[in-house]
């Protein structure tokens, strides 16, 4: 079955890929629930989309680093009578520096946002999707989840690899119930990500053909989940990188990762 006016919940919707998802799903006629920490940005985006598309946009600000946030968010959705048809698990960030260079509280918050929160949101919202016979879940992973983990940003690739495997299992478990699950795995994407992590100057050394816009990533991701793709890598260059890494011996692939880490990451303890 299909839903005439689907309701989409987008995490990390205040900028970048999350905001691009909000704009493109709104253009497709979706009602939206937007969540992130920056309330002012969410309200500005919500006002833009209400005016442009005459849709319902609900702003529910939450910090997903709070372990209680996923349950509280879903309780609010139930109280408002907002059944979620599309879940876009997009919230995320990077922690620059080596593993021991950061305190445990920093890593714990990261793991809560990147692993636990998206997993719990899927667990809480999947039963309703299955009962209604229709649903879409997009877990925004990364090309980093397909290649050897680099030094610096230690937990980032590991967390994205987890989202890829989770999405594959959920796709197999729920396809017959009318629910598609897709791990969207972009490579370098124009957004605030590298500004926040302080690596913009290093990232600017990359050639232009390595980059995609958030709009292109989202457009391809929506098409992929509708097709029923469990994993999708946008961009021919990114798909070629993934294929090349798979063909290389592990030792050589790890050596290449070590070399690139020194160029684009803070690998000092």
Q: What is the pLDDT of residues 79-135, one digit of tens each?
A: 999 999 999 999 999 998 999 999 999 999 999 999 999 999 999 999 999 999 999
The Cα 13–Cα 42 span in angstroms is 7
Residue 226 within a domain: yes
Supply the pLDDT for residue 195. 47
Site of tokens 């946002």: 113
Q: Is the pLDDT of residue 2 over 50?
A: yes
- Supply the range of the domain harboring residue 210: 7-264
Q: In this predicted model, what pLDDT tens digit does every residue of 198-239 receive, in sequence order? A: 454 555 555 565 669 999 999 999 999 999 999 999 988 998
Q: Is residue 161 part of a domain?
A: yes
Residue among 185, 24, 206 at smallest CA distance from 90: 185
The domain that holds 182 is classified in CATH as: 3.40.50.720
How sure is the predictor about 189, in pLDDT bands with cuts at 50, 70 and 90? confident
Q: 10 Å Cβ neighbour count for 216? A: 16
Task: Give the total residue count for the chain.
Answer: 269
pLDDT tens-place string over residues 51-81: 999 999 999 999 999 999 999 999 999 999 9
264 catalytic? Reply is: no
* Number of domains the chain is built from: 1
Q: Please report the pLDDT score of residue 37 as a whole number.
A: 95
Residue 202 belongs to a domain: yes
| pLDDT at residue 150, as a whole number | 85
Among 156, 162, 232, 264, the one annotated catalytic: 156
Helix (H) or strand (E) holding 183: strand 179-184
Rounded Cα gap, residues 129 and 9, in angstroms? 13
Answer yes or no: is pLDDT of 249 > 60: yes
Residue 246 domain-assigned? yes
Q: Is residue 269 part of a domain?
A: no
Q: Do the domain assignments include residue 124?
A: yes
2 in a structural domain: no
pLDDT at 194 (0 to 100): 46
Residue 1: inside a domain, yes or no?
Answer: no
Task: Give the SS3 label for residue 172.
Answer: helix
């Amino acid at each position: 079955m299909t839903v005439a006016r689907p309701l989409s919940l987008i995490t990390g919707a205040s900028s970048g890929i999350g905001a691009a998802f909000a704009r493109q799903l709104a253009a497709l006629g979706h009602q939206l629930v937007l969540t992130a920490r920056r309330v002012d940005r969410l309200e500005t985006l919500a006002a833009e989309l209400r005016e442009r598309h005459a849709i319902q946009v609900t702003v529910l600000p939450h910090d997903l680093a709070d372990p209680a946030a996923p349950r509280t968010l879903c309780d609010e959705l139930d109280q408002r009578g907002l059944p979620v048809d599309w879940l876009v698990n997009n919230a995320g960030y990077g922690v620059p520096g080596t593993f021991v260079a950061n305190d445990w509280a920093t890593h714990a918050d990261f793991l809560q946002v990147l692993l636990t929160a998206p997993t719990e949101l899927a667990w809480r919202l999947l039963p309703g999707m299955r009962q209604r016979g229709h649903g879409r879940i997009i877990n925004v992973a990364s090309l980093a989840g397909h290649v050897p983990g680099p030094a610096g940003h230690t937990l980032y690739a590991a967390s994205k690899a987890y989202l890829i495997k989770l999405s594959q299992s959920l796709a197999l478990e729920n396809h017959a119930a009318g629910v598609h699950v897709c791990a969207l795995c972009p490579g370098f994407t124009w957004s605030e990500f590298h500004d926040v992590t302080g690596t913009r100057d290093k990232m600017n050394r990359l050639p232009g053909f390595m980059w995609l816009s958030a709009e292109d990533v989202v457009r391809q991701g929506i098409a992929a989940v509708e097709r029923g793709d469990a994993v999708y890598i946008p961009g021919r260059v990114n798909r070629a990188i993934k294929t090349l890494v798979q063909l290389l011996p592990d030792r050589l692939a790890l050596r290449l990762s070590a070399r690139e880490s020194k160029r684009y990451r803070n690998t000092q303890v």
